[in-house]
Amino acid sequence: MIRHAYATLVTNADYAMGATALVRSLKLTCTEADILVLHTGGVSQDALAPVADLGARLAPVELLPTSEAFNERHARAKLHGAAPFTKGTKPAFHTPLDNFAKLRLWQMEDYERIVFLDADTLVVRNIDRLFGYPEFSAAPNVYESLGDFHRLNSGVFVAKPAKATFEAMLARLDALDAFWRRTDQTFLESFFPDWHGLPVIDNMLQYVWFNLPDLWDWNSVRVIHYQYEKPWEDHAKVEKLKPLIELWRAYLEGRDVPDLAALPRPAGTAT
């Protein structure tokens, strides 16, 4: 039997909350694929209980065995100092080094294909078709201009687990003086230079809502990705993103999810 799984990564209590909304959203799409929640030592069992109650499989993982020099280069203060975020704000709990733990999914050879989803995403329509996409497939990092189409976003991607691939990744990842400006995202783009592009509807970044509103179509959006500021935070863009935040809260709290076609359109688009 071909086995498929969705996977996400939880490294703290905030992302456990995000994963709760994500897992509930996946369940509502009626997928029959397994749902894995990879988690590191930074999150308690109490915080993980809601995703387990929803039927997700908890998969403890360790951080990668990277060198002290690598860890120092990718520590939050050093990384953000060398490569500051200028378009949005990363939350205080963001720990860049943890991002590399998602590479552990390549060790999970029980599965033929895994679709990875960041814990700050929602799946609002069934995306099981992605299991038919090749490795390595990811959507472009589009949220500011059409010039973004040449870069991938690692919030949603399709992988084929293989321990040989994982070992090759480790060798490339911690090479002498290696510095991955946007951690796993930059690394994966380098490791898979011929990556296959998913449609933007499979990883619709929330900034599209106000930067490229004509790209946002509720009739086609399948995955919403709350990049930068998170929907559970009180942040400067709350009013701009209010419809998206309210949608996320409906999933988190287990309320009835509104009909997508009835949701408001972004400001500046034709009615």
**pLDDT tens per residue across all 271 residues of the chain:** 679 999 999 999 999 999 999 999 999 999 999 999 999 988 999 999 999 999 999 999 999 999 898 888 888 666 556 556 556 565 555 577 899 999 999 999 999 999 999 999 999 999 999 999 999 999 999 999 888 888 999 999 999 999 999 999 999 999 888 888 889 999 999 999 999 999 999 999 999 999 999 999 999 999 999 999 999 999 999 999 999 999 999 999 999 999 999 999 998 776 5
How far is it, in rounded angstroms, from Cα 59 to Cα 8?
10
Predicted model pTM: 0.92
Q: How many CB atoms lie within 10 A of CB 138?
A: 26
Between strands 121-123 and 223-225, the pairing is antiparallel
Predicted local confidence at residue 85, as pLDDT: 54
Measured CA to CA, the distance from residue 184 to residue 174 in angstroms comes to 12
Whole-angstrom Cα distance, residue 174 to residue 129? 34
pLDDT for residue 213: 95
- Helices H / strands E in the chain, number of each: 8, 10
Instruction: Count how many residues are written for the chain.
Output: 271
| pLDDT score, position 77 | 64
Closest CA to 18 of 51, 62, 44, 45: 51
Do the beta carbons of residue 40 and residue 12 sit within 8 Å? no
CATH of 4-262, one of 3.60.15.10, 3.90.550.10, 3.40.50.300, 3.90.470.20: 3.90.550.10
